[in-house]
Chains A and B, each alone.
Chain A
Amino acid sequence: MTLSVRTCPTVDEASAALAAGRARYLGGGTLVVRNASEGDLSFDTLVRSTDPALSRIAVAGGEASLGAGVTMAAITRHPGLAAIAKAARAVGGPAIRNMATVGGNLFAAAPYGDFAVALMALGATVEAGGKALGIDDFLQVRDDIRTMVTGVRFPLPAAGAFRFVKVSRIKPKGVSVLSIAAVIETDAGGAVCSARVALGCMADRPIRARAAEAALVGATLTEAGVAKAVAAVSEGIRPITDPIASAWYRGEVLPVHFRRLLLA
């Protein structure tokens, strides 16, 4: 069988095409075309959609919504998304960013998925098959989803609340040893009133650092104040092992980078 490609003008048609048989959606193609070239025989049709809704970015009323086909490069260029641009810029090199989509990043297995880590910290909602799912739930079921993701939306974080770090061994571009995203809000006295922390490479997909989040609430972002959260960040992690780093190494350096991110 050769690989066939179906181009659909609308999301609905693409979704229908996906439901029929051994098909995969083609976003930017940076993972799925690579898989096909490397001999992944689990699909024989690639479905793509030219629906303009997929590449729409809307920022209004304190909320951002991104079509699934929005690229990392488009995010870095958008003036309304400057607060989170760092996470999009962390993905690949310039050519990858011109191709890699938000939708594809949600499906990317670790060590990839840096932007999905950010979306998790931002508490994003994923629109899939006409339904809205919290990102935590979406990531649990993503492998069984046979429909299209059409977009994501999330509340824009307060100024300075979004923190993100990607650690890699090659500068300026490299695959993640780990990535950490956090949305941390503090009150007038400097005490943390809310915290969402997401970790990349600490499982096969992004996970929340719930114990660290709980330890952060009420704490101040000082060396002593963050100590408990730093100690708790490794709770429940199952880091991946790949040619970039071993699970052991990833687990060892996680608290170090988390501490730096909190104190930055």
Chain B
Amino acid sequence: MAKKVPVQVTLNGEERAEFVESGATLLNALRGRFGDTSPKGGCHQGTCGACSVIIDGELKLSCLTLAEACDGAEIVTTAGLATNSAMHPLQRAFAEGFAAQCGFCTPGMIMAAKALLDQKPDPTREDVIEALSGNICRCTGYEPIIQAVLAAAAASPHKAA
């Protein structure tokens, strides 16, 4: 039996504690133990960005982060963005702008975009492209995603969080 270790985090504002397998990635722990399947595993090697989450305010790849190393951390995922069933401006912009096709890259894209807007509420197109440069989308061709992030920024100036 694999050794289990306790991990306590604040996940999308909620205090949570679970036993995870020693050496487990945060991605596998979130999906398998914490029941949050919004981060996706497209590669488990850091190249696709589908597993992106925000840890203590910084965008990180949950597939390359060990769950144990996150003990005490504050984690935000796409599943935590909507409040009282009202979508976050980024989610609305993605939905309206056809920025999600198969949807597999979408949670990671939204996290990368949120990390950008949290820092820079009024990004330029180049800022958006740079911010999304670690995220791969095989369906949309990126343009609708870039447009959606710009639209979200325009729709909610200075209150993207």
Contact = CB atoms under 8 A, between A and B. Distances in A.
Interface string A75-100: 00000000000000000111110110
Contacts of B64: 28-30, 33-34, 99
B133 A3 contact: no
Most buried by A among B49, B68, B135: B68
A30 B116 CA distance: 21
B66 A93 contact: no
Nearest to A3: B23
Contacts, number: 85
Interface in A167-210: 172-173
Interface string A19-36: 000000010111001101
Nearest to A2: B2
Name the prevailing secondary structure of the A interface residues: mixed
A172 B135 CA distance: 12
Interface size class of chain B, counting residues whose CB lies under 8 Å from the partner chain: 20 to 34
Interface in B61-95: 61, 63-66, 68-69
B134 interface: yes
Contacts of B66: 5, 26, 29, 33, 46
Contacts of B129: 172
Given A93-B134, A95-B134, A99-B65, 8 more contacts: A3-B22, A4-B3, A30-B46, A34-B64, A37-B25, A37-B45, A94-B131, A172-B129
A-B complex: 8 closest residue pairs judged by Cβ atoms: A93-B134, A3-B23, A173-B133, A2-B2, A93-B133, A98-B58, A33-B64, A95-B59
